[in-house]
Structure 1
Amino acid sequence: MKIGILGAGQLGRMLALAGYPLDLDFVFLDPAPEACAAPLGDHIYAGYDDENALAEFCRQIDLATYEFENVPAGTAEFVAGRVPLLPAPVALSVGQDRLSEKQLFDQLGIPVPRYMPVATREALAMAVRNVGLPAVLKTRRLGYDGKGQAVLRTEADVDGAWQRLGSSDGPAKLILEAFVPFDRELSCLVVRGRSGELAFYPVVENQHRDGILRVATPRANDPLQAQAEDYARRVVEHVDYTGVLAFEFFVANGGLLANEIAPRVHNSGHWTIEGAECSQFENHLRAIVGLPLGSTALRGPSVMVNFIGQPPADADLAAIPGVHIHHYGKTPKPQRKVGHATVTAASDADLADRLRRLQELVRAAEG
């Protein structure tokens, strides 16, 4: 079977690496001439609005998926009209727009921080009065790893945030969300098969810096596992989802507040390659091609650390027991995810020691 992937970044790369043992082949469509997944399949180098390229993409494949949620809606509809596209475009449309996400969570009874849409400077002033400060002003679309957002701590921050993110030539598409003084950040990865079967990975505790995920640690037997699974189940069943979906939460006052969903495999699930019985990447492929889902059970203690900007030297990484290195084939650049390492161990104490050594290397490489 030949799988088409819209996008050819590191997530597409890891999907292909998981798929070749299943005798799957891959075609990528991506506008980047040196997309890092391109060596792992056929690369159609074209924009997402190039209908001739999209038609050729569809002719070469049996079914399609995507590795990021910002595929244009028109692209998704074009592809879905010719080959099966999983997850379905409705999940893509929700995941692309932070306001649509929040409205869906409200509809499904999933708690969220206070929020209001913002289209004008006057609407921002009203939102600040209603939502309160501190708050976070975000673009409704695009924006990731801390981009496309501004923290408003006092009234003095409002004008600068509007100048950065607002619009001078028409209504802006922004959302103001209450700043959540959270205790932890958790993500829940769920996989749903074509016949509706569900599997959940252990929730993952995430640590960010400068808006970028740095460390992701799966937590077996977390007291909020059942609540996270309930909220994730509501979403995937409502949109008839197929594949892996990540649901990010804030932990506040002992419960979960929904932050956002990612209708795709996710950075907080990279630990599953070595740390789970079946990785998120293999399970996504199993789901979309109709195979039984694999076990999401932990193999043992594990943690994932991102390489941002510049990775440590391989020799230094390999000297730490239990470290599994993943490079993405990307040119090093500040604030860019260029790889990650998963650390595994037989005990929590060994894991903590290995993680400490790994983080020392990562900090030194970042400078």
Structure 2
Amino acid sequence: MKHKTMAQFKALPPGSTIGIIGNGQLGRMTALAAARLGYACHVFGPDADSPAEQVAFRATVAAYDDKDALVEFAKSVDVVTFEFENIPHESVQLLTKHVEVRPGWNCLQISQDRLIEKTFINDCGIDTAPFKAVDSLADLEAAVEELGRPSILKTTRMGYDGKGQALIRPETDLETAYDSMAGAPSVLEGFVEFQREISVIVARSACGQWTAFEPAENVHADGILDTSSVPAHIPDGLVEEAVRIAVTLAEKMDIIGLLAVEMFHTKDDRLIVNEVAPRPHNSGHWTQDACYSDQFEQFVRAVCGLPLGSVERRNDLVMKNLIGFDVEKWPDYLNEPNAKLHLYGKASTRRGRKMGHVNLVYPLGELLKSKKA
């Protein structure tokens, strides 16, 4: 596909309205970044008094399949994007009849279904963990026979933060594991021995310009991201390879916006893609206090057709998620001179809920030095 040059592409001027599907914390931080650049945001989602609604110019509270509400929403904005991709494809098709949607439906279709996603990644010549489709107990038994134990059974759609997953251990009863998927189409992933998990976030504009943030090193707890750190402790050659993989996928998907690519750094120094997300990502929150242009500003720039900003990193950083009642430590973080607190405005706290994050800022080179020590 030929792309317009920056001179040919007409950018949305400040004062335009960005429509955001989804009204959670990613929409909130996108709306704040958009406001700095002079844009208004109209957010759309099913929850009242949402994190994004609290800071947006306008909010529509409606179900993702409410056709009348979607049409009115589309008529009120100049472009539509997503902070939450799991909406019915019929809703996206309806939106595209009335307004430009970025990224396009193909990007959402790939990322919504793990089986489609992994097949697409492999078709791009990029490795994933071995996988098999599972639609019955017999399928699961055959897949485990081929891929072995341990392995991970996941629903193909809607699972995130450890939801919709079952670890297949040597002692696991397969019927119980299959029943836990509640009949949903699933995929079994073979076990990958890895040293660490990393992620790369690519911004790509309508004219094909791209920038990539350097890899972050991620640590999960109970299936939810706990920390992201930069720099990641991987060889220089793998930094370049991680960026190459992420940019390749963004270009093959024809992304306009952001693409987050999660990868495993294996024991034998290879990179294997775990999953992708065509939107801002939790593992990119470190960019808010480490880079000249963070992931949310890059997202707005890309969607609106503006030149992309610098992704140069100014300092080392550890992003710490505040999950559930961890958020009650917020006064302590305000007393730490190197801590930058980001709270999401959620009215109620519950176990496993992302309530905010804190970015712990360090001088360039300090984290790498402490790691070697």
TM-score (norm 2): 0.90
The residue aligned with 2:249 is 235
Q: Which has the higher contact order (CA 8 A, sep 6+)?
A: 2
The residue aligned with 1:15 is 30
Q: Is the 8 A contact 2:148 2:190 kept in 1?
A: yes
Q: Find 1:128's aligned residue among 144, 148, 156.
A: 144
User: What SS does the corresponding residue of 1:141 show, helix, strand or coil?
Assistant: coil
User: Offset at 1:44?
Assistant: 0.5
Amino acid at match of 1:15: T
User: What SS does the corresponding residue of 2:177 show, helix, strand or coil?
Assistant: helix
Deviates more, 1:197-206 or 1:311-320: 311-320
User: Offset at 1:159?
Assistant: 1.9
The residue aligned with 1:173 is 185
Supply the distance in 1 between the matched residues of 2:330 and 2:260 (Cα, whole angstroms): 30
Supply the distance in 1 between the matched residues of 2:235 and 2:205 (Cα, whole angstroms): 25
Closer/same/farther in 2, CA of residues 39 and 276 from structure 1, 3 Å limit = same
Q: Find 2:208's aligned residue among 196, 205, 222.
A: 196
| Structure 1 position 282 matched with structure 2 position 282 | no
- 5+ residue gaps in structure 1? 354-367
Supply the distance in 2 between the matched residues of 1:21 and 1:232 (Cα, whole angstroms): 28
Within 5 Å, which residues of 2 pair with 1:287-306?
Answer: 287-306=302-321
The residue aligned with 2:158 is 142
Q: Find 2:59's aligned residue among 17, 39, 43.
A: 43
Amino acid at match of 1:188: V
User: What SS does the corresponding residue of 1:317 show, helix, strand or coil?
Assistant: helix
Supply the distance in 1 between the matched residues of 2:191 and 2:329 (Cα, whole angstroms): 38
Within 5 Å, which residues of 2 pair with 1:63-212?
Answer: 63-154=79-170, 156-167=172-183, 172-212=184-224
The residue aligned with 1:333 is 350
User: Offset at 1:312?
Assistant: 3.4
The residue aligned with 1:362 is none
Supply the distance in 2 between the matched residues of 1:313 and 1:215 (Cα, whole angstroms): 16
User: Offset at 1:313?
Assistant: 3.6
Supply the distance in 2 between the matched residues of 1:285 and 1:30 (Cα, whole angstroms): 19
Supply the distance in 2 between the matched residues of 1:279 and 1:347 (Cα, whole angstroms): 17
Supply the distance in 1 between the matched residues of 2:364 and 2:196 (Cα, whole angstroms): 23
Supply the distance in 1 between the matched residues of 2:201 and 2:304 (Cα, whole angstroms): 19
| Structure 1 position 259 matched with structure 2 position 271 | no
Deviations 1:148-200 (A, max 9, x none): 00000125331221111142xxxx41000012121100101111111001101
Deviates more, 1:276-285 or 1:309-318: 309-318
Q: Which runs of 4+ in 1 moved over 4 A?
A: 347-353
Name the % identity: 39
Deviations 1:256-293 (A, max 9, x none): 01100011000000011111110000001000111100
Supply the distance in 2 between the matched residues of 1:302 and 1:234 (Cα, whole angstroms): 27
User: What SS does the corresponding residue of 2:319 show, helix, strand or coil?
Assistant: strand
The residue aligned with 1:226 is 240
Supply the distance in 2 between the matched residues of 1:236 and 1:315 (Cα, whole angstroms): 40
User: What SS does the corresponding residue of 1:26 show, helix, strand or coil?
Assistant: strand
Supply the distance in 1 between the matched residues of 2:172 and 2:331 (Cα, whole angstroms): 49
Amino acid at match of 2:189: E
- 5+ residue gaps in structure 2? 1-15
Q: Is the 8 A contact 1:203 1:222 kept in 2?
A: no
Supply the distance in 2 between the matched residues of 1:321 and 1:160 (Cα, whole angstroms): 49
Supply the distance in 2 between the matched residues of 1:161 and 1:352 (Cα, whole angstroms): 44
User: Offset at 1:137?
Assistant: 0.1
Supply the distance in 2 between the matched residues of 1:198 and 1:279 (Cα, whole angstroms): 14
Supply the distance in 2 between the matched residues of 1:237 and 1:349 (Cα, whole angstroms): 34
Deviates more, 1:23-32 or 1:72-81: 72-81
User: What SS does the corresponding residue of 1:281 show, helix, strand or coil?
Assistant: helix
Supply the distance in 2 between the matched residues of 1:114 and 1:132 (Cα, whole angstroms): 11
Q: Is the 8 A contact 1:246 1:263 kept in 2?
A: yes
User: Offset at 1:108?
Assistant: 0.6
The residue aligned with 1:213 is 225
Q: Is the 8 A contact 1:6 1:66 kept in 2?
A: yes
Deviations 1:119-165 (A, max 9, x none): 01111111111111110000000111111000001253312211111
The residue aligned with 2:13 is none
CA root-mean-square deviation:
1.6
Amino acid at match of 2:39: L
